[in-house]
Structure 1
Amino acid sequence: MNKSMVRFLLSKLLLIEAALLIVPLIVALIYQEKLATIFSLLGTMAILLFIGSMGIIVKPKNRHIYTKEGLLIVALCWVLWSFFGALPFVFTGQIPSIIDAFFEVSSGFTTTGATILPDVSVLSHSLLFWRSFTHLIGGMGVLVFALAIMENSKNSHLEVMRAEVPGPVFGKVVSKLKDTAQILYIIYLAMFTIFAFILWVAGMPFYDSLVTAMGTAGTGGFTVFNDSIAHYHSSLITNLVALGMLAFGVNFNLYYLLLIRKFKSFFGDEELRVYIGIVLVSTLLIWLNVGGLFNTAAKGLEISFFQVATVITTTGFGITNLTVWPLFSQFILLLLMFIGGSAGSTAGGFKVMRSLILSKIAKNQVLSNLYPNRVMSLHINHQPLDKRIQHSVLKYLTIYLAIFIGLVFILTLDSNKFLVVFSAAASAFNNIGPMLGTDKTFAIFSPFSKLVLSFAMIAGRLEIYPMLLLFIPKTWSKI
């Protein structure tokens, strides 16, 4: 294993995080916050600068990155960024526990949106901003961002990007990897900027529009107020945020197709059509089921649509108390938690593409019993899908279910309510945020469970394999 390259890249990534902390520092200066808050940010930056600088003094002779190094760099980067990103909260005492702070920032970078805070007003403007800024950074991917700005454009970094971009299939939109990263991030940041402006025009204060747009773009769910989007009492804002979440739950490679005027490829994408279909059917079913809970049918439709959008995109914005909803609607939302958004989007979950592939595998398996001599092929977007990818999806499902069951098993030590435990595991592992069956935060769990959930959030965001390899001895061997 090329350990020197792992050390070198991780050090550069820590320097990038130090630079990103300048943004909340500027917010602290604008709002003239206490010196303790400013020094907490400066102190964290100093630690990152020291460690990062020490790690890049000796440059590696061999700069090639193999699959193992790529997976290891991705996993360690997300853990280290979450740990160091948590330090300002600990230094200021706004989140005194390092485990709680690590949970909160892991939730931010992985765009989960789960929180241990019963009241976000304890956070200063700068740290509340940093908390949501982690959504914006982690939405498209920490390493995708790094590759977009790093000077090394060689495709040796392909393994790093492949390990981080969600979905069963990774594809570059252009031939050069660095150009792909830059294009994706330009589209992502442009959509974020436009959406923040729209929210501001719709009546949100400027600071609120930025924080909410970051939570929407990263499909994370952190907001300015405890009652989330419901705080604004605006149907316009509610519907805008719902549409925004759905837009960021689409594969960003499709937006590139729009830019180059390949409209037929965009609208003909099979995953996109299934994604929209699931949203429409789920909204209709929930609306019919919960209609009696609201004063008007229009309000019921608005809330149903928003709730479907926030769950399937794994954003986690709040708009209503789900504990009073019928079990039928809660069960639909639970299913949407597992399905998640599109591959190559900022959304979490199992992904619509994998669900689509599994359904086609199941269909072919049934038909093969009827027609044993018939050769069954599987097509996505009119293209045959390689058997290797089909097998990888089945293997992923097996590992996914095994880890999920393990999470539920651990969380039962802290709660006797099955819906709470089951949805908490689903929420963390699928990067969603809210739990079902309770109106409390993740503070109800023990420090050990919160630490396990933190790693589960990172594992879910990185689609399991990079995090699993951290705990396998062979990963650290020289071979």
Structure 2
Amino acid sequence: MDIRIVFYLMARMVFCLGAVYFIPWGMSLYLEDGCSEVFFTCFLICNFVGYLLNHYARFDKYSQTITNREGVATATFSWVLCAALAGMPYWMTGELDLFASFFEGMSAVTTNGVTVIESLQALPRSVLFWRGITHWLGGLGIIVIFISLLPRMASGAFHLFVAEATGFNEDRLLPRLRTTAQILFMIYSSLTLAEAFLLFVCGMDLFDAVNHAMATVATAGFSTYDNGLLHYNNPLIELVIFVFMILAGANFALYYKVRYRGWHVLWEDEEFRIFIYFILATSCLITLSVYAGTDDTFIEAVRHSFFMVASFSSTTGFASTNYEQWPAVAKLTLMLLYFTGGCAGSTAGGIKIARFVVLVRMTIVELKRVLHPKMLFAVKFEGKPLTVAVLVSISRFFFLYVISVVVLSILFAATGVSLTEAIFGVMACISSCGAAFGGIGMEGEFVHISDAGKMVLALAMLIGRLEIYTVLVMLRKEFWHMNSRW
């Protein structure tokens, strides 16, 4: 691996992040909230870090290419560095200490949505808007946005895209990767603007509408209020966010195909179809449970059940009610959604519906083999048989996902939290959902977690956002060999 190439790519991403600091800086000047110096200082720090990286960097796009290792290293290091730089305003304003600021920054850029800020309403609006910008950038992926906005950097840029992309199929919409990234970025921006407009029409002020739109499309869940959407208690607002949470949980590549082939493309996609069926089935189950086990009317049970299922399945983490007071069946069903997540190619976290479906079908095939050992069976997805390599990859991913949850839960429990908090805290972070149960659920918070606990959860966020392999492969000794190119 050539670390100088990694420095070159990271330097440009840091410069881009520094440029984004001008947005809250200008807002702070306009609002006169006293944070303009903080944001300008952050801008200078970003440029200084970018200068240092660039000083030790070396990349010639005519004679060098980005290999798989440089792509993996850039993806991992960039997320860690951008999390640290994104968290600086919270520390400089005195709101959080260094560990908590890094945790907040990591939660933002990985679109996790958990927070250690005790009072959001007490924060200046420019700082709140910075939270919104950082998780919006993290939603589509800083690296994907980076590829779409900067000049094409040789054919090796594909490794950057793959290292950050989600799902087991990284098919490009168009031959040129940069064109693909630009199309995804335009779709992402268009959905954000459309939702912000609808939320504004439904009663939110412009500031809250833009922030909640960025949080929804990024499936991040950051709100501008401590009690989130419960502050509004508005069915129309919840309906708009419900629709866009589902849209954000679907494969963004489908929306490009809709433009040329029509809306029927959505329903023809097997993963999207199963995603919708799964939301409907789990919502109906939870509705019956909530209606039978609480004082909610049937309409209220439907309203909150469908919203919470969309929130958990898209890993957005918004809440329209206190789901901690629901019956055990309803809460256990929501917990299942930690694993399923959204569709491959979406901004959602989790294992992804596509992988989950394949795992179920693999299990069914194995059961058939027990009964008919001499027959040949194929596991199909989208009507096509999957290769053994894909099936093995999905099985290994599921194994690593479960092992990661177990190991991180043990580490988190070692910091002094309860068993319930350890398991649900890690599952909420590695799935990028953010919404948890127990002491750190609706009635609790992540504020009082120790610094060591925050770092464990930050690692869970990083592993979940980059889908495990990208981070764990760096633990291999041969990854760091300078004389090997792969």
TM-score band by shorter chain is: over 0.9
Q: 2: CA distance between counterparts of 1:301 and 1:100?
A: 37
Q: Does 1:386 align with 2:363?
A: no
Seen in structure 2, the aligned counterparts of structure 1 residues 416 and 223 have a Cα distance that, compared at 3 Å, is closer
Q: In structure 2, what is the equivalent of residue 49 of structure 1?
A: 47
Pairs within 5 Å for 1:49-88: 49-57=47-55, 59-61=58-60, 62-88=63-89
> How many residues in Structure 1 have an aligned counterpart in Structure 2?
476
Q: 2: CA distance between counterparts of 1:263 and 1:307?
A: 26
Gaps of 5+ in 2: none
Measure how far apart 1:415 and its partner are.
Answer: 5.1
Q: In structure 1, what is the equivalent of residue 454 of structure 2?
A: 450
Measure how far apart 1:416 and its partner are.
Answer: 5.8
Q: In structure 2, what is the equivalent of residue 117 of structure 1?
A: 117
What is the SS of the residue equivalent to 1:114? coil
What is the SS of the residue equivalent to 2:88? helix
Q: 2: CA distance between counterparts of 1:261 and 1:361?
A: 32
What is the SS of the residue equivalent to 2:438? coil
Q: Deviations over 1:92-114 (max 9, x none)?
A: 1122x111011111111111101
Q: In structure 2, what is the equivalent of residue 419 of structure 1?
A: 420
1:474 counterpart (472, 478, 483)? 478
Measure how far apart 1:153 and its partner are.
Answer: 5.1
Q: In structure 2, what is the equivalent of residue 320 of structure 1?
A: 321
Alpha carbons 2:65, 2:155 under 8 Å: kept: no
Pairs within 5 Å for 1:169-248: 169-248=169-248
Measure how far apart 1:474 and its partner are.
Answer: 2.8
Q: In structure 2, what is the equivalent of residue 431 of structure 1?
A: 432
Q: Does 1:296 align with 2:300?
A: no
Q: In structure 2, what is the equivalent of residue 460 of structure 1?
A: 464
Q: Deviations over 1:100-141 (max 9, x none)?
A: 011111111111101112321232111111112112101111
Q: Which amino acid aligns with 2:53?
A: G
Measure how far apart 1:59 and its partner are.
Answer: 3.8
Alpha carbons 1:337, 1:426 under 8 Å: kept: yes
Calculate the aligned-residue CA RMSD, in Å.
1.5
2:37 counterpart (36, 39, 50)? 39
Structure 1 stretch 46-55 or stretch 177-186: which is displaced more? 46-55
Alpha carbons 2:173, 2:180 under 8 Å: kept: yes
Gaps of 5+ in 1: none
Give TM-score, length-normalised by structure 2: 0.95
Seen in structure 2, the aligned counterparts of structure 1 residues 411 and 59 have a Cα distance that, compared at 3 Å, is closer
Q: 2: CA distance between counterparts of 1:153 and 1:294?
A: 59
Q: 2: CA distance between counterparts of 1:469 and 1:84?
A: 25
Q: In structure 2, what is the equivalent of residue 150 of structure 1?
A: 150
Q: Which amino acid aligns with 1:78?
A: W
What is the SS of the residue equivalent to 1:143? helix
Q: Which amino acid aligns with 1:268?
A: E
Seen in structure 2, the aligned counterparts of structure 1 residues 416 and 43 have a Cα distance that, compared at 3 Å, is closer
Q: Which amino acid aligns with 1:141?
A: G
Q: 1: CA distance between counterparts of 2:369 and 2:264?
A: 32
Q: Which amino acid aligns with 1:459?
A: I
Measure how far apart 1:277 and its partner are.
Answer: 1.0
Q: Which amino acid aligns with 1:177?
A: L
Q: In structure 1, what is the equivalent of residue 129 of structure 2?
A: 129
Q: 2: CA distance between counterparts of 1:361 and 1:135?
A: 35
Q: 1: CA distance between counterparts of 2:401 and 2:264?
A: 34
Seen in structure 2, the aligned counterparts of structure 1 residues 205 and 82 have a Cα distance that, compared at 3 Å, is same
Q: Deviations over 1:221-274 (max 9, x none)?
A: 001111101111211111111111111000001111101215444311111111
Measure how far apart 1:447 and its partner are.
Answer: 0.6
Measure how far apart 1:154 and its partner are.
Answer: 3.3
Structure 1 stretch 316-325 or stretch 465-474: which is displaced more? 465-474
Q: 1: CA distance between counterparts of 2:479 and 2:287?
A: 49
Structure 1 stretch 468-477 or stretch 184-193: which is displaced more? 468-477
Alpha carbons 1:120, 1:225 under 8 Å: kept: yes
